[in-house]
Amino acid sequence: MAVGVSAMPPLGTIAGVRLGTVAAGIRKAARRDLVVIQCAPGTTAAAVFTQSHFAAAPVIVAKEHWRTCEPRALVINTGFANAATGAAGLEDARACCAAAARAIGCSAQEILPFSTGVIGERLPVAAVVAGIPAAVAAATEAGWADAAHGIMTTDTVPKAGFREVDIGGVPVRLAGIAKGSGMIHPNMATMLSFVATDIEAPRPLLQAALERAVKTTFNAISVDGDTSTNDALVVLATGRSGARLTAAEGPVFAAFCDALEHLCAELAQAIVRDGEGATKFVRVDISGAHSDAQARVVADTVASSPLVKTALFASDPNWGRILMAVGRAPIALDDPNRVVVHLNGVRVFRQGMVDPDYREEMGQEALAGDEIVVAVDLGQGVGRASVHTCDFSYDYVRINGSYRT
């Protein structure tokens, strides 16, 4: 069960974006598994994709199409990742684009395909193609909640968010959905996410805002240290609100970036809270580094350590595992005796040894809840970084050991 996640928040609509979701029988019968997101002409799109050397066929095709023109629709299927499927996988992804183009009345290059699920098995393209007309016909501006369900794989809860903010005196809306539970780690982040806004934004400015938001949100989460072949995050801007981005600076751009970052943070943290088998939601705060980049290296090392994560699952204040992770991080540490470690506000380590005022029961009490902050001050400078992660439970092995069966 996801940590600290309740029902989806109320979701508004984005003028110019319509979403349709159907059960196409792609892998499991009667499961919502195909989503088509349509956007009005004039919509611009920003995107970031997986950095994996084995990028999936839909990622390759989506990048090709996105570089050529602005999209009219996104087609997302679950069940099969269409990754490591060779030339046939590319053909299948393009066939899905062609089918969506016929249903919508646009060119195939204006369709961006996305897939998630099992790697190495060919996509049942006939089922996808057959389901696309129904998904197009079912499209509605109020379709965000259904779409959040339709992109899930091992997720236990749908993930969605909505914001309405005042930008330059004009109300601007942002809505987004995301999926992800396992195979999650920074490097774009392992997941699919689709965000839309009614602000008008030339692609370069929208891309700049997205890349800024990703750094502290989707690229600052980790469940298990593994990055997928199918990562993608797309932001659509329809321009229907009357507000417009005109420069990558100033109060309008700053306000939009802040709203986008907050929405991305909500979606990214929901992924960590729903990490496969997760029982603890953990923030790793590193301060006192020579630079923010150095702090981020340490934060990633601690957040992805299996030994740290299993100790947190057991509510075991084994701070030695945290020192282990900090100690092996590939940075220069001037004086280890300056390092200070806190667990949920309880100081456990300083001056090269256990804090003299610390008692084991204090640490156990600090870790008893389901939300934990691991704070490490390196004592070297002013650099800082935060990464969100979760624990490793018995269920993580069970879920992944039986993923294909």
Q: Which helix (H) or strand (E) holds 211?
A: helix 203-215
Q: Which of 190, 197, 229, 301 is catalytic?
A: 190
Say how far apart CA 47 and CA 42 lie, in whole Å: 16
Contact 237, 16 (CB under 8 A): no
190 has catalytic annotation: yes
Sheet strands side by side (includes 232-237): 44-49, 232-237, 192-197, 170-179, 159-167
Sign of the Cα pseudo-torsion (262, 267, 270, 271, in order): negative
Say how far apart CA 132 and CA 73 lie, in whole Å: 11
Q: How far is CA 144 from CA 39, 56, 186, 191, in A?
A: 13, 25, 26, 17
The crossing angle, in degrees rounded to 10, of helices 86-104 and 57-68 is 50
Terminal-to-terminal C-alpha distance of the chain: 21
Tokens of 182: 């396992």
Taking Cα atoms as reference points, which of 232, 267, 277 lies closest to residue 398?
277
Say how far apart CA 325 and CA 389 lie, in whole Å: 14
Helix (H, G, I), strand (E, B) or coil at 75: strand
Contact 277, 399 (CB under 8 A): yes
Helix (H, G, I), strand (E, B) or coil at 377: strand
The crossing angle, in degrees rounded to 10, of helices 125-137 and 86-104 is 20
What is the set of active-site residues? Answer: 190
